[in-house]
Amino acid sequence: MAANIIDGKVIAADLRAQVAGEVTRMKRDHGLTPGLAVVLVGNDPASEVYVRSKHKQTQAAGMASFEHMLPADVAQADVLALIAELNADAAVHGILVQLPLPKGLDTEAIIAAIDPAKDVDGLHPYNAGRLAGGLSALSPCTPLGCIILTKSVHSSLEGLDAIVIGRSNLVGRPLVQLLLNENATVTIAHSRSRNLPELCRRADLVYAAVGKAEMVRGDWLKPGATVIDVGITRVPTTEGKTRLIGDVAFDEAMKVAGAVTPVPGGVGQMTVACLLVNTLRAACAISGLPAPKV
């Protein structure tokens, strides 16, 4: 029996609709419009696509969208000056600096300059520290999306064995903290882990976030496991075109797992939706309003 496909498009659309409903209520009851500012440095094609998508979905949710495009050779001081302006702007509740930044810019210093209350990417050391301490914090969007996708299959993650393959600050490490907050039992694995297939076979929940195409094979999986594939790699086809594949061998996983996210159409759909959630939450917190029901 084939696994169920976890449809990120449908789940993300539902989440965006919930956010839009909360934004409408905030405007009506409090005269408040959540605002998201995105800073794009340079002209990386993939980043430009992401930023366009964020702008479109922010506006569709009824939020204010502020875009700031800077040249690749911009001075570090100018980026920091822009962030200072956005920190002080009452119309801006969320600030996102699109990564990766061009060489020559200090990414850590730029992220650290963002007001933690407006850090909707969840990368500021303050938010990362609070998350690691089990405290409430703005969490990185992709890991947050992974949890929501998992909960579309399991109403509770308590006591489930989870493995996170990949230890990046963007996905792996914060995802571990979110899973611990859900009372899952978590193993974090990486390129130097021994017996990785054996570690995977113990897991009820498998999160693959290493950026290595089809690394996780079907025989690595415990029958009935839920598999969340964060990876995305563009590979050539025999027709001379390209296609996107994930870190999991999808066809193999479908024969063993209980539920699998596709690539594309899985985790990627959730990342921008969760960015809207974080912006909404930040707007409420900054304005002293109760947390939204999203």
Task: Characterize the bridge pairing of strands 35-41 and 94-97.
Answer: parallel
C-alpha 229/C-alpha 267 separation (Å) is: 7
Residues with Cβ within 8 Å of residue 151, at least 6 apart in sequence: 157
Q: Please indicate whether residue 269 is annotated as part of the active site.
A: no
Residue whose token pair is 């963007």: 170
Which tokens hold the place of 207?
Answer: 């999160």
Which tokens hold the place of 58?
Answer: 């922010």
Q: Which of 18, 57, 98, 177 is catalytic?
A: 98
What secondary structure letter does DSSP report for 239? Answer: T
Q: Cβ(150)–Cβ(259) under 8 Å? A: no
Residues with Cβ within 8 Å of residue 173, at least 6 apart in sequence: 128, 167, 188
Q: Give which of 150, 214, 147 is closest to 4, Cα–Cα.
A: 150
Radius of gyration for the chain, computed over Cα atoms and rounded to the nearest angstrom: 19
Which tokens hold the place of 103?
Answer: 């060489």
Q: Please indicate whether residue 54 is annotated as part of the active site.
A: yes
Q: Which of 18, 115, 118, 121 is catalytic?
A: 121
What secondary structure letter does DSSP report for 178? Answer: H
Q: Cβ(278)–Cβ(138) under 8 Å? A: yes
Catalytic center residues: 54, 98, 121
